[in-house]
Structure 1
Amino acid sequence: MTRRIPFAFKFTTGLVAGICLTLTSAYAQQCGGDFRQFLAGVKQEAVAKGLSANAADRTLGGARIDQKVLARDRAQGVFKMTFLDFSKRVISNYRMKNGAANMQKHAGIFQRTENEYGVPAPVITAFWALETDFGAVQGDFNTVNALATLAHDCRRPELFRPQLISAIEMVQNGDLDPQRTTGAWAGEIGMVQMLPEDIIKFGRDGDGDGHVKLKQSAPDAILTAGAFINHLGWRNGEPWLQEVTVPQNLNWIETGLGKTKTGSQWAALGIEPRWGQISSNLPASLLLPQGRKGPAFLAYPNFNIYLEWNQSLIYTTSAAYFATRLAGAPRYNAGNPDQGLNDAQMKQLQTKLRAKGYDVGKIDGILGAGTRAAVQDTQQKLGMPADAWPTPALLNRL
């Protein structure tokens, strides 16, 4: 669980070419080049920050580049799935059943977490399920090797170098074993998959044993997740996502994240809840992950916390919807969405949109925020329903 993208779904931005780049951040950070010289620089920085040379040596002495980490970092095609396909894949009957059982089993610590941090049990439980299947699948990558590999790589060293230094601090504190601690390929540790820097800042002792053991202790993981989500700005007592029905005469250009109306304004346009009541006074965006003929959701301010957790709209919408299911919402109405584009067609569409001056980012076949915005604007200009869902009909028109 991190501010970027957790577990196996991470970072769809383009590669940064070259080695030994100097990146703008709190300090100049080197990447690439000789690996041992790179580690020596990390040690020097850690010592300058007040950590012991001995802890740095114990952490970095056996570190090595893990090519499997680099391969995983480069191969992240899962977000080319549609919302319906992805959500059906990850929200299984097993996870629903075990989610309910875990909320009951750990009711005490969940209540404490909500009392202290305002985050309800279904929200944490959905992340816990999607990240590690309630701790069953936490990853088998050596954490130090993963962090050292990604910090040395010149793709996102400004993110991972501080995490490697925080790992040294965890070793110094006795909370990480450089040889034995394992986790996800991007360096996250434990049941809710957190990076070392966030473990140091937000780790909480939920079971009262005096330690924060996110790999072994469910109470520690639950309380820590609550502290972290609270830090991201969770608004106590407010909804996060609500499935709704939409009239077919809606002005579709008004839909999408970043375009908000109050709940009462949406209701006046004919938006109706499928479960619960619309929060009349809260701002909300109308989210159509597969266009006007697919599922529809009102995304309230707390939905922004999901986007802090993970930048993929497909993952975040699935996680938020999963949490509503755990809270008692019915299955979504899948509807009958228009046919989408395959990978080659999506890249072709992105190429055409870029040629028209739109910023769609990398031509990667992923329906990211930039591509969605370009699609919606283009649909409106062409007189098509502007629901931001790319179809063969749109591609043909272009």
Structure 2
Amino acid sequence: MRYLALAALLAAPLPALAQQNCGGGFPAFVEGLKAEAVERGTSPDTVESFFNGTRHDPAVIAADNKQGVFAVPFVEFARRLISENRMSRGMANRSDYAATLSEAEARFGVPPGILLAFWGFETDFGAVQGDFNTRNALVTLAHDCRRPELFRPQVFAALELYAQGDFDTATTGAWAGEIGQVQMLPGDILRNGVDGDGDGHVDLKGSAADALMSGAKALADRGWRAGEPWLQEVQVPEGIDWSKTGLDHPLPEQEWQAMGISARGGALSHPDLSAHLIAPQGRGGPTFLAYPNFSVLFEWNESFVYVATAAYFATRLSGAPIFDAGSPAPGLNQTQMTQLQQKLQAKGYDVGGVDGILGEMTRRAVRAEQVRLGKPADAWPTPDLLSAM
């Protein structure tokens, strides 16, 4: 389900051998990894033991190519993921793990709602952690030449965890190599893994305490700001300048209030804090103020709809009401979205790749084109916009 995992690339420079980055015959590629691992200082016996039985997994590549779930609009996506059952289990886990969540917030500044939201979305609170062999998945993706700069270092991170006794070559997880109840890559486990239950090991698969504490440390490492909000639903008056919305137009909260924006439930209580006004399904749908901590969540997952939904779920688990779905204008299906991205790209916009998914870069291009055409610039593409182009 992940669009792109929380990626902690290893900082150490790679030796010259690593420049033979990807592709070629798979057995020869694995031999190259072995040679580099020994050159890095890992014992030959450990290297042989770790790589013994490694195989290419075509199912990993197939899964990588199937991410159409992120083409689902925000309201539908949120309703799918935030079921009554998941909401009730989230609240139950908040009670059951109150001590761990409290310690995580005290040490790393990340509130319970955020950790519970990602725990729920990533693995249904540990119940569904993935059945891809992690070592094979990482080596397969490192061999594939689309993102070797991401996955090759993760192979060596997994090897380091193996040498430390914290990784088994039979370990299973997500297709992209993430491990455990909050789905972290091996490099990030090395950097941010926390022994939350005090047993001397970091076990993100079997220990909820380890997973929650490690997730909190990872977010803090990416810049989470303690004591600050991340998302709040708001009401927007008629006549707002929609061109000021989106993640590239921050304003102090008090300036948004001066434009007539008000909280829907609760109050806006951080007047000097920078915030973005976002409308995941345009001016007819739910609207939110997104604060600096919202942007940190993109380090966990790059999908706008996923991050917006996880952030909203976290507010619900923290006591916020169900959003006002409004009446969004009909959007585009994935084929139409692909056509729109092609048209935008032809006009010189950078949409971050033609994939039929409305990500933040496509939203920015849509907003710019709406401004050019004199339409409300809410970044929500419609069939009318597609026709006008």
Task: Report the TM range for the smaller structure's normalisation.
Answer: over 0.9
1:397 matches 2:388: yes
In structure 2, list runs of 5 or more residues that go unmatched. 6-13
Change (3 A) 1:330 1:260: same
Shift in Å at residue 237 of structure 1? 0.3
The residue that corresponds to 1:380 in the other structure is 371
Confirm or deny that 1:183 pairs with 2:176.
no
- How far apart are 1:27 and its partner, in Å? 5.8
Q: What SS does the aligned partner of 1:168 have?
A: helix
Q: Relative to structure 2, which stretch is displaced further, 332-341 or 51-60?
A: 51-60
Please give the alpha-carbon distance, in whole angstroms, between the structure 2 residues aligned to 1:24 and 1:385: 52
- Give me the TM-score of the superposition, normalised by structure 1: 0.92
Q: Which moved more, 1:275-284 or 1:224-233?
A: 275-284
Query: What is the one-letter code of the residue matched to 1:10?
Result: Y
Shift of 1:310: 1.1
Answer whether contact 1:52 1:172 (CA < 8 A) is retained.
no
* Structure 1 residues 269-308: aligned runs within 5 Å: 269-278=259-268, 279-308=270-299
Q: How far has the Cα of 1:26 moved from its partner?
A: 12
Q: Which runs of 5+ in 1 are unaligned?
A: 1-7, 13-22
Question: For the Cα contact (< 8 Å) 2:17–2:36, is it kept in 1?
Answer: no
Aligned position for 2:241: 251
Matches within 5 A, 1:1-398: 8-11=1-4, 28-178=19-169, 180-278=170-268, 279-398=270-389
- How far the C-alpha of 1:344 sits from its partner, in A, is 2.2
Instruction: Output the CA distance in 2 between the equivalents of 1:152 and 1:351.
Output: 29
Pairwise CA distance, 1:24: 12
Partners of 2:305 and 2:230 in 1: how far apart? 15
Deviations 1:222-273 (CA, angstroms, capped at 9, x unpaired) = 1111111110111000000000000121011000012011010000000000
Give the percent of matched residue pairs that are identical in Structure 1 and Structure 2. Answer: 54
- Separation of aligned partners in 1, 2:119 and 2:17: 32
Contact 1:29/1:157, CA 8 A, preserved across alignment: no
Contact 1:351 1:363 in 2 (8 A): yes
Give the C-alpha shift of residue 359 in structure 1: 2.0
How far does residue 358 in structure 1 lie from its aligned partner after superposition? 1.7
CA distance in structure 2 between the partners assigned to 1:164 and 1:187 by the alignment: 9
Q: Where does residue 17 of structure 1 map in the other structure?
A: none
Residue number in structure 1 paired with 2:9: none
Secondary structure of 1:135 counterpart: coil
Q: In the alignment, residue 98 of structure 1 is paired with which amino acid?
A: R
- Aligned partners of 1:394, 1:140: CA distance in 2, in Å? 42
* Range with bigger deviation, 125-134 or 358-367: 358-367
- 1:186-221: CA deviations, max 9, x gaps? 111110111111111111111111111111111111
Matched residue type, 1:354 = Q
Structure-2 separation of matches of 1:291 and 1:146: 38
Letter in 2 for 1:88: R
Alpha-carbon distance in 1 for matches of 2:81, 2:264:
22
Q: Is the contact between residue 126 and residue 322 of structure 1 (CA under 8 Å) also seen in structure 2?
A: yes
Q: Is residue 18–residue 36 contact of structure 2 (8 Å, CA) maintained in 1?
A: no
1:10 Cα deviation from its structure 2 partner: 2.1
Runs of 4+ in structure 1 off by over 3 angstroms are 23-27
For 2:206, give the aligned amino acid.
Q
Determine if contact 2:234/2:263 at 8 Å carries over to the other structure: yes
What letter is aligned with 2:266? Answer: G
Matched residue type, 1:151: A
TM-aligned CA deviation for residue 120 of structure 1: 0.8
Aligned residue for 2:137, secondary structure, equals helix
Distance 1:345 1:211, change over 3 A: same
Q: Distance in 2 between matches of 1:252 and 1:26?
A: 51
Q: Does structure 2 retain, via aligned residues, the 8 Å contact 1:55–1:169?
A: no
Q: Which residue of 2 aligns with 1:19?
A: none
Offset, 1:276: 2.5
Local SS of the residue matching 1:222? helix
What is the identity, as a one-letter code, of the residue corresponding to 2:209?
P
1:395 positional shift:
1.5
Give the conservation status (yes or no) of the 8 Å contact 1:124–1:222: yes
Worse-matched range after superposition: 25-34 or 226-235: 25-34
Corresponding residue number in structure 2 for 1:16? none
